[in-house]
Amino acid sequence: MLKEEINIGVARPVNDAWMLITRGIPVICGFGPRGKNVHAKDEYINLTDLVNVTKVLFKTVVDFLND
């Protein structure tokens, strides 16, 4: 849908996903809109990315519920 290469890696313990992964539940970490200045007072995200990420997450939920 986004036509971009996806980097596949591991989730370290600083990410809550490890609790799901160790129980055999697949997760996606780090997927979201691009932006800059994370956790700073001038943090921002790209609104086009926000719309596209929302579409991907919506389609993922719909596909999951239809299985």
Phi-psi domain of 37 (left: phi exceeds 0; alpha: psi -120 through 50; beta: other): left
Would you say the pTM of this structure is higher than 0.85? no
Domain ranges of the chain: 17-66
Average pLDDT (8-21) is 74
Residue pLDDT, tens place only, 15-64: 788 888 889 888 877 788 899 998 899 999 999 999 999 999 999 899 98
